[in-house]
Chains A and B, each alone.
Chain A
Amino acid sequence: MKFAYYPGCSARSTCAELNEATHIVAAKLGLELLQLESATCTGARELRAIDPVGFYALNVRILALAERESLPLMTICNTCTLNVLDAHAAFVSDPELAKSINAQLAEEDLQYSGRTRISHFLWVLHEDIGEHRLRELVVNPLNDMTVAAFYGCHITRPPLRYGFVDSRNNVALEKLAEILGCQPIDYSGRTECCGFHTAAHDEKVAIKLTGQHILSAKTAGAKAIVTPCPLCHTILDGFQAEIEKDMSQKLDMPILHLPQLVGLALGLSAEVLKIDRHMVPASALRPYMADIAKRSG
């Protein structure tokens, strides 16, 4: 199974470990990834607000790059996923916009016809790999490791894009964690916001919000938090020291990227999955990795 793969900016800078882990885990899963090297940023939240036309053009260009390869597009960032989905929706519903974007793309011999299927890695696991195959591939079931799923906003809201009456009804991550041998836990932060999108100009909102979520996961007994979004990861992991300072309390909560959790269950080591690159050490998870050491040793 082959995908045009769009890692986004975060997985190529602050969360470079996510990109590396994705490539390794995808290979294990039998997914062939063609990384779209010439793709640009999707514009995060900023561009879509202040320059919607430029925003649509950049995103449709990414979809056109995938279409040129006749491949579905796989993303690993929530915000990128919503951006390309929104741009696709605008493109197919506004022929005038579609025409003007295609005129711009024509300069580099690109064209979009609206046919690229967009899928986040989380959905690829459920829809393209499937529960049955995934269970076959799990060689190191994670011994009931208690995991808190942190969805992040843009993979479950807005309602008109994803169709959730109540975003708390999303259980895709918990289902997956179960397949990997984890014990998913319920807590108040599951579908809450990490505050990433204002953190570049003012971190205090992100620090206050995310502190509550990590504490809730910890109180509910989570050994780790798993997230499908590198932006959430940046706050949950990269800001955890500031969060602890703000709360005057140690949290020590390891944060895993989704492919890393999958990789552990597939028998890959923490080193291969670059879990050691995180700001919060994952030493508390060692008991679940010990099996791997034995297996690979």
Chain B
Amino acid sequence: MTSAYAPTQSNLVGRLGQAEEHDTLAARNSRLAPGDIVAVKILRFDRAEDRSAYQDFRVPYQKWMRVLDALNWVAENEATDLAYRWFCGSKMCGTCAVRMNGREVLACWEAVEPEMTIEPLRNLPVIRDLVVDRTPYENKVASLEPWIERTDIYQSFPEPLTHKQMKDASKALDCISCMCCYSACPVIGLGDLTNFAGPAPLVQLGQTALDPRNNPMKVKRALALTGIFNCISCYKCEEVCPASIPIVSRIIEPLKAKTAQLIPEMAKHSLALRAIVAARGRVDPSALMLRVQGLKVFVKLPRAIRLLVRGKIDLIKTFLKIKTEASEAAGRILRRRAATK
């Protein structure tokens, strides 16, 4: 890196409201000493009786105790019929995810809290206690056919692939299918309201769809099923991902870019915004709505009138495209990019 581009860390290291230091694994562990009691509340569910209830347990803390250790202690000592999944105990198999105090965690990788409420993951049917049925997720992934289909001739062995070409797909390959993101996604939480595939299936798709060797027509078929533009970019998935995959910025956004290329009608909103910024320098919300929704916008006439009354929309501005320094700069930067694509 040349000195002209010396990074200033001040933008990326924060203080109040920009970062926190107290909520680390070490800090959580230091809150308890051996012999202390961990108050555990577990949401238990019996499908046969269709009954769910919280059950309290008092678990003696042991040094370095994880959520999984607490569950094991409960199963061995107090509730031998407690249903929960785990296998590797080391953040590899992705089977032990639960919600602890309202947040998705891997039981094998999370320190216990003095008081914890443990619930099954959301957005998947519960089979019993903390065990969820992964079938809806697996069916979704299978429908996306996440494998590579080759139509062109292999150029050579090994194939001339660069790290740069594989940078996003390789991030997706870190996924352990633990379903933390799927449980945290608010859009998935809305059920059938949209056809959004959800973060975990999109990461699985990203492993092959972001691989440059894949057949674009096959990728197109899969992307058409994803409802990917229903992602609201809330980063809830990234926040809970135990594998630290930048799901929004390195998987969903590159997949959106591919969708915009292969199925532009799905990316109407994004393409309209780009065109508006290129022409005006800034977003004019009325122009954006007109472009994205077309005549459908008139269904929303009552709100438009209310907004107009409060001076929240300015139709003169919308219809008079005034040339400004900003519009010229945006045009220069964005139109040239479009031309060179």
Contact = CB atoms under 8 A, between A and B. Distances in A.
Interface of A: 9-10, 12-16, 37-41, 43-54, 57-58, 61, 85-86, 88-89, 91-93, 95, 98, 104, 107-108, 113-118, 122-123, 126-127, 153-173, 175, 192-193, 195-198, 200-202, 204-206, 208-209, 238, 241-242, 277-279
A37 B257 CA distance: 30
Contact of A114 (B5, B16, B21, B271): B5
Contacts of A61: 329, 333
Contacts of B313: 13-14
Which of B13, B239, B281 counts the most A-chain CB atoms under 10 A from its CB?
B239
A202 B230 contact: yes
Nearest to A153: B234
Contacts of A57: 333, 337
A9 B283 contact: yes
A9 B234 contact: no
Interface in B249-303: 249, 252-254, 256-257, 260, 267-271, 273-274, 277, 281-285, 288-289, 292-293, 303
A277 B312 CA distance: 8
Contact of A92 (B7, B230, B233, B234): B7
Contacts of A277: 310-312
B277 A40 contact: yes
A16 B252 CA distance: 32
Which of A95, A200, A209 counts the most B-chain CB atoms under 10 A from its CB?
A200
Contacts of A47: 270, 273-274, 277, 334
Contact of B193 (A155, A160, A208): A208
A14 B326 contact: no
Nearest to A107: B332
B314 interface: yes
A95 B277 contact: no
Given A41-B330, A92-B7, 19 more contacts: A13-B317, A41-B281, A41-B283, A126-B15, A157-B238, A157-B239, A159-B238, A163-B14, A166-B23, A172-B17, A193-B186, A198-B269, A200-B269, A201-B269, A201-B292, A202-B194, A204-B193, A205-B190, A241-B303
B186 A166 contact: no
A141 B190 CA distance: 40
A166 B103 contact: yes
Nearest to A176: B17
Contacts, number: 257
A200 B8 contact: no
23 contacts: A9-B283, A14-B313, A37-B326, A40-B282, A41-B277, A46-B270, A49-B252, A49-B254, A49-B270, A50-B256, A50-B267, A51-B274, A54-B274, A54-B333, A57-B333, A123-B14, A126-B15, A168-B102, A171-B17, A192-B234, A195-B232, A200-B293, A279-B306
Contact of B334 (A54, A122, A126): A54
A38 B2 contact: no
B233 A238 contact: no
B306 A241 contact: yes
Contacts of A166: 23, 103, 239
B35 to A, nearest CB: 26
A265 B213 CA distance: 60
A115 B313 CA distance: 36
A44 B284 CA distance: 12
A46 B75 CA distance: 48
B18 interface: yes
Contacts of A192: 186, 234
B165 interface: no
Q: List the 10 shortest-distance A-B pairs measured between CB atoms, nearest first.
A: A172-B17, A163-B19, A92-B7, A193-B234, A38-B325, A157-B235, A46-B270, A49-B256, A165-B23, A9-B283
